[in-house]
Structure formats: structure tokens, C-alpha cells
Structure 1
Amino acid sequence: MKLITAIVKPFKLDDVREALSAMGIQGLTVTEVKGFGRQKGHTELYRGAEYVVDFLPKVRIEAVISNDALDQAVEAIEEGARAGKIGGGNIFVSEIVEVIHIRTGEMGEDAWNPHFYGGLSTS
């Protein structure tokens, strides 16, 4: 199992969710975050005064994906998040070491429902 973490522009969230939904991924965690990368913020004008906005609003999307659905999920996120401008975001892929279902105490693949959390099988 893999954990995909994608940092994207907020207005691309629905496009990414729809792209993942189309491939059968139903479970996501979404967090509003702020950050900067190469774009390093920008200057804005407010009531006649200029000020620098260092941290820009982003959305962090996380999904647990089966190994065999990983490439398809990454491609779906790329296509959904692509805006063609600087600050489009990043995708990070991490290995899942263990899963524990809090309510039942199940561990490993027994604790993970791939049809809900984003995969087509549990390889």
C-alpha cells in the first residue's frame, strides 16, 4: 500500500477529486494548508498599502492506494491538478508500513478497505 500526498491549488480540488472518483477512489483526506515553493509568494495591495504574502493557500490531499493502482492514481492527480502555471503543486508517494482500524482493532490489509480508501485490490 502507498500513501499519496498531493499539494495543489485550492481551485483544483474538485478536479482532482473527480479524477480520482472516476477511477474508483472514494476515500480522501483533505486539509487546507499554506506554503510556498519556487513561486516564493507575491505582493498584494490592501487599502493602498503593499504587503508581501509569503505563504499561499494550498490544499493537501491524502489517499491510501493499492500498489497496482498507484500509477493510475498519480496520473489522475496530475491531470486534475495541472493548471499550467507556477505553483501547481507536488505529489509525494510514501510506503504504508501498517494500518490499524481503530474501531475493530484489525491490523494490516484486514483493516484497510481498498474500495473505500482508494484502490482496486490489496496487493
Structure 2
Amino acid sequence: MDPTRIILAGGWISLMLVYLLGDVLRIFSGDAEPGRIADRAAASWMWLLAALIMLVPIAMITVSLMVPATPLKWITVIVSAALVVFNLSGLPYKGLYDNVLIVVGFAFNALVIWVALAWQPAAEQ
């Protein structure tokens, strides 16, 4: 297996853990109010949307290991850039820790994009 695929999968794992850490810290800090998203009562579709967004890095782990190289390169760039735009739309967050973690998430997104764009995959069988 091409080691770049493993690096990409590792980048997605790291990003997923940063997102998870932010959620856990938000709960323990008291910045999250149960049943509410963005200071308003959350409908079930909002929880579904939140779950789907959190599934993106998880799905990209598998995609990084299974999709052919050429489409994977561009899927990775597009999905990672979309996550950056999504996270930028929520800035600034209440807690300093949250803003720091989003910047760390941006760094992982940048790393994933850089690795994908620099990748020169050998012909796959």
C-alpha cells in the first residue's frame, strides 16, 4: 500500500480527534447546553446534520485507503477545504480552547491538502 494513503488516513484520524476533543471540552467546560445548538433549541434535523458533519473525517479514513489515487487526491482536497470553510463560518467560538482547537484543525486540514496535492501516485493495478 502506498504510504501516502496511510499518512492521509492518519491526518483524518487526527482531525477527527481534534473535533472530538473540542466537543468533550465544551461539555466539561459548561459551554454546551444540553438540547441546544448555537443558543437555540435544536430540532432533530440539526442533530442529524451535526452527526453527518462529524462523520466526514471518519468516512475519509476509509476513503483514503480504498478509493483509486486520482479521484482520492481531489476528493481529499475538496472535502478538506469544505471543512475549513464550514469551521470558519462558526468563528469565533466562546472558549479560547475551542478557537485554539479550530486553528489546530485548520493545520491538519492544510497538512492533508498539502500531502494530497504533493502526492505523485504510481500507476495502480
Q: Same fold (TM over 0.5)?
A: no
More helix by share: 2
TM score, norm. by length of structure 2: 0.30
TM score, norm. by length of structure 1: 0.31
**Higher-Rg member (1/2):** 1
More strand by share: 1
